[in-house]
Amino acid sequence: MDAKVVLCDFAEVCGGKLFISGAGLAMLASGTPEPPYRVNITLAVLGLIGLGDTDVQHKLTLELVQVGQTGETRVALTDEVPDGGDPADRGMFIAYFLAPRSPQMLPGDEWTMPMAIPMFGLGLPDLGPYYFSVRVDGREMDRTSFRLLPMQPPEMFEGMPGGPAVEGQAPTGPAL
């Protein structure tokens, strides 16, 4: 079993396919000037499941980690721990899933399981580096890193497509 994760603006699953928009984010500007620093992001996860991993319950955990000068700190994505869950999982997003075996599956085939996990309005405690870690059954499958930047002034986007027009210049995109 394997999984890949991509940080993006938006993702959704439809018809068993993963549709991603604005993928590959590495630097995020906060939507708020003070903590908690709010961001709107989505994690696009594509699980790759082999024949031997079908018809068995699996545990997917998603952890957000802040990387500081003194070490790494988990940022809580939730206050809950599932009933009967491990207290060490507090703050992590946890999902249990069963990957059904398809009768068409042959040895060596991989079945894909797409997931879109929106995190709109996610509050982060500090500016700086973070990463999301995706684990299945306790084994890290992938991680995606980003750096949170301060809220950007509107003039940073002048002259860019979709940004505010510069005086004396024709608009370059839709009005915001």
Give me the domain span that covers residue 126.
2-157
Q: What does pTM read for this prediction?
A: 0.82
176 in any annotated domain: no
HEC letters along 68-137: ECCEEEEECCCCCCCCCCCHHHCCCEEEEEECCCCCCCCCCCEEEEEEEEEEEEEEECCCEEEEEEEEEC
Domain of 33: which CATH number?
Answer: 2.60.40.10
Q: What is the mean pLDDT of residues 1-15?
A: 95
Whose CA is closest to 141, among 47, 66, 69? 47
Per-residue pLDDT of 43-94, as tens digits, reads: 999 999 999 999 999 999 999 999 999 999 999 998 877 667 788 888 999 9
Predicted confidence at residue 172, as pLDDT, reads: 47
Q: What is the mean pLDDT of residues 35-39?
A: 95
Total count of domains within the chain: 1
Predicted confidence at residue 30, as pLDDT, reads: 94
pLDDT-derived band at 175 (thresholds 50, 70, 90) equals: very low
169 in any annotated domain: no
Predicted confidence at residue 32, as pLDDT, reads: 92
pLDDT-derived band at 176 (thresholds 50, 70, 90) equals: very low
Whose CA is closest to 130, among 72, 80, 48, 52? 72
Residue 56 in 3-state DSSP? Answer: coil
Residue 157 in 3-state DSSP? Answer: helix
114 in any annotated domain: yes
168 in any annotated domain: no
